[in-house]
Structure 1
Amino acid sequence: MKNFKLTIILLMLTTIVFAQKSPRKQVNGTIGHVSVDIDFGAPSVRERVIWGELVPYNQVWRAGANENTTISFDEEVTIKNKAIYAGKYGFFIIPKEDSDWTIILSSENDAWGSNSYNENEDVLRMNVTPQIVEENQEELNYSINNEGIEIAWEKVRLFIPIK
């Protein structure tokens, strides 16, 4: 009986010790002549219900896994007719079930997740319309093109136009 209990305990500890965090990813690109860097944890769908369950609706989400996502600009950009100065920003999203989603850039750029998110540190809030597509994006992905930033995960795509 002692050996059985010891085996169970060792199996449980092995699962905890070897559980993997979502991989950290960096995406770099340019918008016009501005260098843009995005650093994020890239979770996978893994047959889970993402929107409304893993990522609850109407709550601030860190736009990735583990440490919060950050976006850096090496020069000033314009988002939604607002000047965003060169610098590093925390990036958050508020997903909504039946309406536009809220995109947030925050001056708080070194938090763990969204637990310490403070609305008073918002630099920008804007609404974007999520696009629902047929193709499943298994791992969260960010891409940068000359028009802005695209976020793709599961069957949702978001686009943030940047000038």
Structure 2
Amino acid sequence: MKKSILAIAVFAITLFSGTDSFAQKWKKLDVSPMDASTFPDNWRESNKVVKVVYGRPQLKGRDLAKLAPAGKVWRTGANEAAEITFFKDVFFGGKAVKAGTYSLFTIPSAEGDWTVILNKARNVWGHYTYKEIEDVIRVKGTVSKSEENIEAFSMIFEDDMTLKMGWANTVVSVPIKTEIIEK
């Protein structure tokens, strides 16, 4: 009887003292966390048209022109290249795009306009393996200035499904439609 009580006590001590070996090793928070924006932007709506997933770099006193240099392909966010998923065929900036997932790249220009690119490559880190030959479309984004400083790069969809990308005091807009309205 004493041996079985002793065995149970040793087992319990071993079990409870060894819990550290089973502890999870959680990563610290990324300084540029991932975010997502959808249209429609209503968690109750399961019939989405578009979703974009991207990293959110912050200015932290740095100049936008150094973080997204003119004339160079930018990953449109931080870390992995942004990915945009269309759940229906759409017109992106007036150009037809089939439903699917694409990497979203941009090229700022010294003149202030931005080229917005949908590219076939997926699951890529940054823009380091970007290949122009894999571009699906390129459109010009409409550039406007924000009255307030946007510290963390952000993407939203307006009520008319226009994609807005904002950082510092720059806002780049691309209209998205599910059908083209003839004029």
Q: If the length of structure 1 is used for normalisation, what is the TM-score? A: 0.82
- Considering only aligned residues, what root-mean-square deviation do their CA atoms show, in Å? 2.0
Q: Are positions 1:47 and 2:56 aligned together?
A: no
Aligned length in residues: 145
- Code of the residue aligned with 1:152 in structure 2: it is G
Q: Are positions 1:25 and 2:38 aligned together?
A: no
Give distance in 1, aligned partners of 2:105 and 2:169: 19
Structure-to-structure mapping, 1:9-158, within 5 angstroms: 20-30=30-40, 35-51=49-65, 53-145=66-158, 146-158=160-172
CA contact (8 A) 2:93 2:140 kept: no
SS of residue paired to 1:59: coil
TM-superposed CA distance for 1:57, in Å, is 1.0
Q: Answer 1 or 2: which has greater strand percent.
A: 1
TM-superposed CA distance for 1:19, in Å, is 8.6
Identity over aligned pairs, percent: 33
Q: CA offsets per residue over residues 81-111 of structure 1, 9 Å max, x none?
A: 3211110000000011214211000011211
Give distance in 2, aligned partners of 1:45 and 1:160: 23
Q: Structure 1 stretches of 5 or more lacking a match?
A: 1-16
Q: Structure 2 stretches of 5 or more lacking a match?
A: 1-26, 42-46, 178-183
Larger radius of gyration: 2
SS of residue paired to 1:111: coil
Larger RCO, structure (CA 8 Å, separation 6 or more): 1
SS of residue paired to 1:159: strand
